């Protein structure tokens, strides 16, 4: 089984949205469980409002249900503490750290990366504004220059994500052509992760 943990030092950067969509991606590859490790239970509430193509459990039930899964995606609350991040990294195959593409997030991300050292993680630039803004690319370059391993894939900002959250489904299952590209962002991210996990 492969375990992918989504976390970060900051709140509201798309962790739960990323966990839901990675679990959707992996559910197309094999049996997948999403473990909602956030006491706010954002992911569980998302699934309860509608329907998702994977099992969702909180960390207390997960032990039993995780047994026959091929992929486990773990959502977590924000962790300002890097010791916590290091311990989380030890407990999974890959740590995914979403960050928004703004200057205020750059320095903390660089510091987190320095503390994490050679742990198995990647930064994910999420909620990037539409073109002609180049904030996503700029953030990506700054992080790369700072020696931070960053996913090539970035996730665009679209109202489709809050809409999907409200409907309790992944964006893949909202029948609106304008959201297709946003789902492709997570497909691309999922494929990058599969490549890393090989």
Ligand X SMILES: Nc1ncnc2c1ncn2[C@@H]1O[C@H](COP(=O)(O)OP(=O)(O)OP(=O)(O)O)[C@@H](O)[C@H]1O
In the complex, the residues that contact Mg ion under the rule CB under 5 A are 15-16, 42
- Answer for the pair 144, 136: CB distance below 8 angstroms, yes or no: no
Q: Is 127 in the site for ligand X (CB under 6 A)?
A: yes
Q: Which does 99 bind (CB under 5 to 8 A by kind): Mg ion, ligand X, none?
A: none
- Answer for the pair 189, 156: CB distance below 8 angstroms, yes or no: no
In angstroms, how far is the first alpha carbon of the chain from the final one? 12
The interface region with ligand X, picked from 5-13, 82-90, 129-137, 144-152 by CB under 6 A, is 5-13
Q: Is 21 in the site for ligand X (CB under 6 A)?
A: no
Measured distance CA(52)–CA(69) in Å, rounded: 16
Q: Is 80 in the site for ligand X (CB under 6 A)?
A: no
Measured distance CA(37)–CA(87) in Å, rounded: 15
Residues in contact with ligand X, total (CB under 6 A)?
Answer: 19
Measured distance CA(54)–CA(197) in Å, rounded: 20
Q: Which does 161 bind (CB under 5 to 8 A by kind): Mg ion, ligand X, none?
A: ligand X
Measured distance CA(42)–CA(17) in Å, rounded: 9
Q: Is 157 in the site for ligand X (CB under 6 A)?
A: yes
Positions in the binding site for ligand X (CB under 6 A) = 11-17, 38, 42, 77-78, 126-127, 155, 157-158, 161-162, 165
């Amino acid at each position: 089984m492969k375990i992918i943990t989504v976390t970060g030092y900051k709140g509201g950067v798309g962790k739960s949205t990323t966990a839901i969509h990675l679990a959707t991606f992996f559910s197309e590859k094999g049996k997948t469980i999403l473990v909602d490790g956030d006491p706010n239970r954002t992911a569980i509430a998302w699934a309860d409002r509608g329907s998702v193509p994977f099992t969702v459990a909180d960390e207390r039930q997960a032990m039993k249900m995780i047994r026959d899964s091929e992929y486990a995606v773990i959502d977590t609350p924000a962790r300002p503490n890097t010791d916590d991040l290091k311990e989380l990294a030890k407990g999974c195959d890959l740590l995914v750290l979403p960050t928004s593409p703004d200057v205020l997030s750059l320095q903390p991300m660089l510091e987190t990366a320095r503390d994490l050292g050679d742990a198995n993680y990647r930064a994910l630039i999420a909620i990037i504004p539409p073109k002609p803004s180049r904030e996503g690319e700029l953030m990506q370059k700054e992080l790369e220059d700072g020696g931070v391993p960053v996913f090539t894939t970035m996730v665009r900002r679209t109202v489709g994500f809050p809409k999907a959250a409200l409907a309790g489904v992944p964006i893949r299952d909202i029948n609106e052509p304008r959201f297709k590209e946003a789902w492709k962002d997570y497909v691309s991210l999922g494929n990058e992760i599969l490549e890393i996990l090989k």
